[in-house]
Amino acid sequence: MSMNRIILLMVLLFVIEGAVMPWIIPAGFGHRIIPHFVFVMVIFSGLYSRRHLALILGVSFGMLQDIVYFGHLLGINAFIMGLMGYFTGVLLERRRSTIMMAISVIGFACLLYDSVIYFVYSVFRITNESYAWALIDHILPSLFLQLAFALACYVPVRKLFEGQNGVKPENDDE
């Protein structure tokens, strides 16, 4: 039952980041702030659930994102999202993640995700802008939105993924 809730939540976030967020983001920042709420959920699944679940969720929702939103290179978001979710699960599978570690990992993963997409686009000459311009123009503003989202939904998402995994959450003194 919990896996159905996770998939339903991610589909809802996919719709929110594509249909609702363009209405909420101010007009001057519309092309600068790009929400990646589904990617944040993939990283949460790598942190608090199984790494294979993060890989499957990342590849499937990344491919959905490639098909619906981005037509430049089919599969780049699926590959990077799945790989980042899997590596997050591999690197932190034996450690107990606190809120600061989770926010730090999500921030670094979002920065790396957008940077890798930029560099792949620059290799295939889809973009001609410099990395410094991309970092200031849309990577960092989007990073702050992802971090605010991760901080706002940390507790319910952690309980959802730990409940799906069958692990009892320990009491934190955070």
Q: Per residue in 57-114, pLDDT tens?
A: 999 999 999 999 876 788 999 999 999 999 999 988 777 778 999 999 999 999 999 9
How many domains is the chain partitioned into structurally? 1
User: How large is the angle between the packed helices 37-48 and 51-68, nearest 10 degrees?
Assistant: 170
| pTM score above 0.85 | yes
Distance CA 40, CA 37 (A): 5
Closest among 34, 33, 52, 32 to 42, alpha carbons compared: 52
C-alpha dist (Å) from residue 132 to 72, 119, 136, 146: 22, 12, 6, 20
| Residues 74, 87: Cα–Cα separation, whole Å | 22
Q: What local confidence, expressed as pLDDT, does residue 77 receive?
A: 92
Taking residues 4-9, report their average pLDDT: 91
Residue 137 lies in a domain: yes
Q: Is 161 part of a structural domain of the chain? A: yes
For residues 111-131, average pLDDT: 93
43 is a domain residue: yes
Q: How confident is the model at residue 174 (pLDDT cuts 50, 70, 90)?
A: very low
CATH of the domain at 36: 1.10.1760.20
10: containing domain: 2-23+32-165
| pLDDT higher at 139 or 161 | 139
**How far apart are the C-alpha atoms of 75 and 63, rounded to whole Å?**
6
Tokens of 170: 């320990």
Q: Is residue 170 part of a domain?
A: no
